[in-house]
Structure 1
Amino acid sequence: MSLNSIFQYFIPKDKKFFPLFEQDSANLIKLGEKLVEAVNTEDLARRKELFKDISDLEHTGDEITHQIHLELSKNFITPFDREDIHRLASAIDDIADYIHGSASRMDLYNLTIITPPIKELSNLILQACQDLHKAIHELRNLKNIRLIADSCVRINSIENQADYVFDKAVGDLFDNEKDAVNLIKYKEVLSALETATDMCEDAANVLESILVKNA
Structure 2
Amino acid sequence: MSLNSIFQFFVPKDKKFFPLFEQATENLTTMSAVMIELVNSKTVDERNALIRKIDDLEHVGDNITHNILTELSRNFITPFDREDIHDLASVIDDVADYLNGSAKDFLLYDIMDYSQAIKDLVHLIHEGAQELQVAVRELNGLKNTKLIREAMVKIHSVENKADNVLDQALADLFKHEEDVKELIKMKEVLSMLELATDKCEDAANVISSIVLKNS
TM over 0.5: yes
Which residue of the partner structure matches residue 82 of structure 2? 82
C-alpha displacement of 1:13 = 1.1
**2:152 counterpart of 1:152:** yes
Distance 2:19 2:4 in 1: 23
Task: Provide closer, same or farther for how the CA distance between residues 105 and 120 of structure 1 changes in structure 2, counting only shifts above 3 A.
Answer: same
Distance 1:210 1:46 in 2: 41
Distance 1:60 1:7 in 2: 32
Cα-Cα RMSD: 1.6
Distance 2:8 2:73 in 1: 20
**2:121 counterpart of 1:127:** no
Work out the percentage of aligned pairs sharing the same amino acid: 57
C-alpha displacement of 1:192 = 0.4
Q: Secondary structure at the match of 1:77?
A: coil
Distance 1:60 1:85 in 2: 19
Which residue of the partner structure matches residue 190 of structure 1? 190
Which residue of the partner structure matches residue 205 of structure 2? 205
Q: Secondary structure at the match of 1:201?
A: helix
Q: TM-score of the superposition, structure 1-length normalised?
A: 0.97
C-alpha displacement of 1:43 = 2.2
Where does structure 2 lack aligned partners over 5 or more consecutive residues?
none
C-alpha displacement of 1:112 = 1.7
Which residue of the partner structure matches residue 41 of structure 1? 41
The letter of the residue matching 2:76 is: F
Task: Provide closer, same or farther for how the CA distance between residues 81 and 168 of structure 1 changes in structure 2, counting only shifts above 3 A.
Answer: same
C-alpha displacement of 1:5 = 6.7
Distance 1:5 1:85 in 2: 14
Distance 2:133 2:118 in 1: 23
Which residue of the partner structure matches residue 25 of structure 1? 25
Distance 2:53 2:148 in 1: 30
C-alpha displacement of 1:7 = 4.8
Q: Does 79-88 or 5-14 show the bigger shift?
A: 5-14
Which residue of the partner structure matches residue 68 of structure 1? 68
Structure 1 segments (4+ residues) deviating >3 Å: 1-7
Distance 2:122 2:79 in 1: 33
Deviations 1:35-82 (A, max 9, x none): 011001222211110011000000110010001000000000000000
Which residue of the partner structure matches residue 114 of structure 1? 114
Task: Provide closer, same or farther for how the CA distance between residues 48 and 14 of structure 1 changes in structure 2, counting only shifts above 3 A.
Answer: same
The letter of the residue matching 1:50 is: L
Distance 1:154 1:111 in 2: 30
Distance 1:57 1:175 in 2: 37
Task: Provide closer, same or farther for how the CA distance between residues 61 and 167 of structure 1 changes in structure 2, counting only shifts above 3 A.
Answer: same
Q: Secondary structure at the match of 1:10?
A: coil
Distance 1:177 1:139 in 2: 46
Counterpart contact for 1:158–1:197, Cα < 8 Å: yes
Which residue of the partner structure matches residue 57 of structure 2? 57
Counterpart contact for 1:33–1:126, Cα < 8 Å: yes
Counterpart contact for 1:4–1:214, Cα < 8 Å: no
Distance 2:4 2:85 in 1: 17
Q: Does 2-11 or 37-46 show the bigger shift?
A: 2-11
Distance 1:7 1:101 in 2: 40
C-alpha displacement of 1:6 = 6.1
